[in-house]
Amino acid sequence: MHQHSPGAGWHTAEGPSERDALAAVGPRLRTIRTVRGSTLAEVGEQTGISTSTLSRLESGGRKPTLELLLPLARAYGVPLDELVNAPASGDPRIHIRPIRRDGQVILPLSRGATGVHAFKQVYRGARADDPVPRQRTHPGHEWFTVLSGRIRLLLGSAEHVIEPGEAVEFDTRVPHWFGPVDERPAELLSLFGPDGERVHVTAT
């Protein structure tokens, strides 16, 4: 692993907006990795970047450089400008770039680096050769509602079947996994707070 100079790939005279953009890269990388269900070690194997460097990059302790961001953009399947939240070109249309992983398509619906993140997740349906569900843990709080199909939720030692129109929320530090119950496709809307933010519903 070769060393990266602190300013490699970026100009050094950054204004406030550039500093803000660079500071937002770490949280955005952490959110993308968490949504994909990948560990730092798995991303490190894909990119050749050490887990310590990835951890510092996500926490803001390491400055993002092109040498680091290019392999991450390839591994996550997202354009580089999305990682750095490049300003819009004036086109008012929302260009959603899907993330594909393990039989599902994840559509990011929000672009903010902090706060609650919104996603639509589309599952192709369970298959006999699918791997055995593996529960994961990570910091954060998740809320989702099922739009169509049925979702199986493993939460710790409990198992639940979530029907269309039903919603659940849980602390993602509890071991969890969710996916389609059977071969029918399923869709859900998900809100994820990487720092433990919960969904608040206000009655009017």
Which element (helix H / strand E) includes 32? helix 16-36
User: Are residue 50 and residue 109 in the same domain, yes or no?
Assistant: no
Boundary-marking domain end, from 57, 83, 109 = 83
User: Are residue 118 and residue 43 in the same domain, yes or no?
Assistant: no
Distances (CA, A) of 184 to 37, 84, 163, 179: 22, 37, 13, 11
Residues ≥6 apart with Cβ < 8 Å to 22: 10, 14, 63, 64, 84
> Is residue 175 in a domain?
yes
Q: What is the per-residue pLDDT across 42-64, written as a single tens digit (0 to 9) for each? A: 999 999 999 999 999 988 888 88
CA distance 33 to 57: 12
Q: What is the CATH number of the domain that holds 118?
A: 2.60.120.10
Give, to the nearest 10 degrees, the angle between helix 16-36 and helix 51-59. 130
Using the predicted structure, report yes or no on whether residue 9 has a pLDDT greater than 80: no
Average pLDDT over residues 19-40: 80
Q: Is the pTM of this model over 0.85?
A: no
Place of tokens 């059977």: 182
CA distance 17 to 68: 21
**Six-digit token string for 144:** 């989702």
190 within 8 A of 141, measured Cβ to Cβ: no
Confidence of residue 3 (pLDDT cuts 50, 70, 90): very low
126 within 8 A of 105, measured Cβ to Cβ: no
Mean pLDDT of the chain, nearest integer: 79
Does residue 89 or residue 171 have the better pLDDT?
171
User: Are residue 119 and residue 51 in the same domain, yes or no?
Assistant: no
Confidence of residue 27 (pLDDT cuts 50, 70, 90): confident
* 150 burial type by CB count under 10 A (0-12 exposed, 13-18 middle, 19+ buried): middle
User: Are residue 58 and residue 107 in the same domain, yes or no?
Assistant: no
Domain that holds residue 55: 16-83
> Is residue 202 in a domain?
no
Q: What is the per-residue pLDDT across 98-149, written as a single tens digit (0 to 9) for each? A: 777 777 888 877 765 556 788 889 999 888 888 889 999 988 899 999 999 9
Does residue 88 or residue 181 have the better pLDDT?
181
- Number of structural domains (the chain) is 2
Q: What is the CATH number of the domain that holds 21?
A: 1.10.260.40
Q: What is the per-residue pLDDT across 57-83, written as a single tens digit (0 to 9) for each? A: 988 888 888 888 888 888 887 777 777
Q: What is the per-residue pLDDT across 151-172, written as a single tens digit (0 to 9) for each? A: 999 999 999 999 999 999 999 9
> Is residue 145 in a domain?
yes
